[in-house]
C-alpha cells in the first residue's frame, strides 16, 4: 500500500458590450486522432483554432479549446451575459477553486450554484469569474463521466462570457487513463506485479464510467496540466513534493508529464500514478519546509491542493469509500503548514463536503 494523487490559466481584457451571437467552436483536430485508447500507506488510494475569435483577452490554445462532442463543429448559443453583481468592471474576475469531486455530480452542481457560478439550469452565470478544478473527477462516486461532461461544457460557456473554467490532472485521471490504455497489462509496481485495471477497481473504479468513457474524454484528460500558478496561489492536485521530480519550472513539469503520457509506456505511466498518489508531505514535522520547496521552485506564496481528505489531515477516522455513514464534520478548506497550504478535499466520498472556495482566503 502506498500513501496517497493535474490546466491552464487565462487573463481577461476590458469589459466589452456583448450581443447575442451563435459562436461556432471548432473541435480541435486531436479529437479525431488515432490515439492509444484501444480496448485493449493510505486507505483511500491503494497502489497495487476556433472558427471565430475568442472573447477579448482570452488566449485560446489547443488545450483550452472546449471539446463539445465528436463532430467537426458544435453550435453553442451564447446569450448576452450581464456582469454579476460585485465583479470588477475591468480585469480578471474573481478566482474560485474546487476540491475533489469523485463522481458526485449532484453535490458539485449544488456547490457551484451556492457560489453563484452556475444558474438553476446548470449554465455558467458568473461572467468573467475564473474557476479551477483541482482534479479527481471520477471513481468512488456514481457519475464521473457526467462530472467531466459538465466541466467541459462550462469551459465553453465561461470562455464565451469572458471568464474561464479549467482543470488540473489528479491521480485518478492517471488511473482511469491507465486502466483504459493498458487494462490487465502487468506493470512493475516496485512491490511485485500489478495492473492498472486491478488498481482502478481497488480505488473505486465505476463500470458505468468505463462504459461511457469516449475518446474525447480521454484526450481531454491526457492534456490536463499538473501545476499552475494563479494570483500567487500555486495550484496542484496532490500534497506531495513529487512534482519536483519532473522539472524546475511549471512549464517543464507539465511538458514532461504530457510527453510521458504520449510515449504510452505502461511502466512509465504507472510511475506517474504512483508518485502522484503520495500524500501528507505538508502535514507533519517539516511540512512547511516541503511547501516552501515547491513555492521557491514554481512561484506563489501559498499552495492549494486536493487529494488528501481534510478529515485525514486532521487525524479523524473515516473511510473514503463511504463505509462510515456518520461522516466527518467539514466546514470549509483547511489552512495548515504555517499558513502556507490550503487543503480543498472536503471528503465528499466519506459523507463530508464538496468544497468550492473563492480565493484569496481570509484566515
What does 56-124 look like in DSSP terms, one character per residue? TT----TTTS---SSSSEEEEEE---PPPTT--SSS---EEEE---TT-HHHHHHHHHHTTSB-TTS-B
Spell 159-182 as b/e; 16+ CB within 10 A means b.
Answer: bbbbbbbbbbbbbbbbbbbbbbbb
User: pLDDT tier at 189 (50, 70, 90 boundaries)?
Assistant: confident
The Cα 194–Cα 188 span in angstroms is 7
In this prediction, residue 142 carries a pLDDT of: 97
Question: What does the block give as the cell for 201?
Answer: 477497481
Question: Which of 29-38, 283-292, 309-318 is predicted least confidently?
Answer: 29-38
pLDDT at 193: 84
- 297 is written with which cell numbers? 521552485
Question: Residue 328: what pLDDT?
Answer: 75
Which pLDDT belongs to residue 4? 40
Condensed to tens digits (0 to 9), the pLDDT of residues 142-185 reads 999 999 999 999 999 999 999 999 999 999 999 999 999 999 99
Lowest mean pLDDT among 63-72, 282-291, 331-340: 63-72
pLDDT tens-digit profile of 230-268?
999 999 999 999 999 999 999 999 999 999 999 999 999
Q: Residues, the chain, total? A: 363
Residue 91: pLDDT band (50, 70, 90) is confident
157 or 2: which leads in pLDDT: 157
What are 225's strand-pairing partners?
168
pLDDT at 363: 64
Q: Are strands 334-336 and 302-305 parallel, antiparallel or unpaired?
A: unpaired
Q: What number is the average pLDDT over the span 217-228?
A: 98
Q: What is the pLDDT of residues 289-348, one digit of tens each?
A: 999 999 999 999 999 999 999 999 998 855 555 555 566 789 999 999 999 999 999 999
Q: What are the backbone angles phi and psi of residue 145, rounded to the nearest 5°?
A: -70, -35
More reliable by pLDDT, 73 or 363 = 363
Q: Is the pLDDT of residue 3 over 60?
A: no
Mean pLDDT of 9-19: 36
Amino acid at each position: 500500500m502506498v500513501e496517497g494523487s493535474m490546466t491552464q490559466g487565462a487573463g481577461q481584457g476590458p469589459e466589452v458590450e456583448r450581443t447575442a451571437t451563435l459562436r461556432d467552436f471548432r473541435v480541435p483536430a486531436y479529437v479525431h486522432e488515432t490515439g492509444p485508447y484501444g480496448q485493449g500507506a493510505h486507505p483511500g488510494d491503494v497502489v497495487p483554432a476556433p472558427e471565430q475569435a475568442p472573447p477579448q483577452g482570452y488566449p485560446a490554445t489547443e488545450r483550452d479549446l472546449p471539446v463539445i462532442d465528436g463532430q467537426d463543429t458544435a453550435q453553442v448559443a451564447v446569450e448576452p451575459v450581464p456582469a454579476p453583481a460585485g465583479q470588477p468592471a475591468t480585469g480578471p474576475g474573481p478566482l474560485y477553486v474546487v476540491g475533489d469531486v469523485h463522481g458526485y455530480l449532484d453535490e458539485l452542481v449544488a456547490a457551484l450554484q451556492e457560489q453563484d457560478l452556475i444558474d438553476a439550469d446548470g449554465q455558467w452565470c458568473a461572467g468573467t469569474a475564473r474557476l479551477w478544478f483541482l482534479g479527481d473527477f471520477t471513481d468512488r462516486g456514481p457519475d464521473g463521466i457526467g462530472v467531466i461532461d459538465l466541466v467541459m461544457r462550462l469551459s465553453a460557456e465561461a470562455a464565451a462570457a469572458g471568464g474561464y473554467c479549467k482543470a488540473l490532472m489528479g491521480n485518478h485521471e492517471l488511473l482511469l487513463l491507465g486502466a483504459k490504455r493498458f487494462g490487465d497489462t502487468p506493470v512493475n509496481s516496485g512491490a511485485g506485479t500489478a495492473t492498472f485495471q486491478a488498481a482502478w477497481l481497488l480505488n473505486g473504479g465505476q463500470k458505468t464510467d468505463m462504459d461511457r468513457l469516449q475518446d474525447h474524454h480521454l484526450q481531454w484528460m491526457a492534456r490536463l496540466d499538473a501545476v499552475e500558478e494563479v494570483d500567487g496561489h500555486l495550484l496542484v492536485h496532490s500534497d506531495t513534493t513529487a512534482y519536483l521530480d519532473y522539472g524546475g519550472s511549471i512549464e517543464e513539469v507539465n511538458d514532461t508529464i504530457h510527453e510521458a503520457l504520449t510515449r504510452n509506456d505502461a511502466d512509465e505511466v504507472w510511475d506517474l500514478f504512483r508518485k502522484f498518489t503520495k500524500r501528507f508531505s505538508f502535514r507533519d514535522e517539516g511540512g512547511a519546509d516541503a511547501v516552501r520547496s515547491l513555492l521557491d521552485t514554481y512561484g506563489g506564496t501559498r499552495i492549494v491542493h486536493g487529494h488528501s481528505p481534510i478529515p485525514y489531515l486532521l487525524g479523524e477516522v473515516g473511510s473514503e469509500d463511504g463505509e462510515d455513514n456518520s461522516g466527518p464534520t467539514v466546514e470549509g478548506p483547511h489552512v495548515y503548514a504555517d499558513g502556507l497550504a490550503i487543503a480543498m478535499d472536503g471528503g465528499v466520498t466519506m459523507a463530508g463536503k464538496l468544497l468550492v472556495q473563492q480565493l484569496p482566503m481570509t484566515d
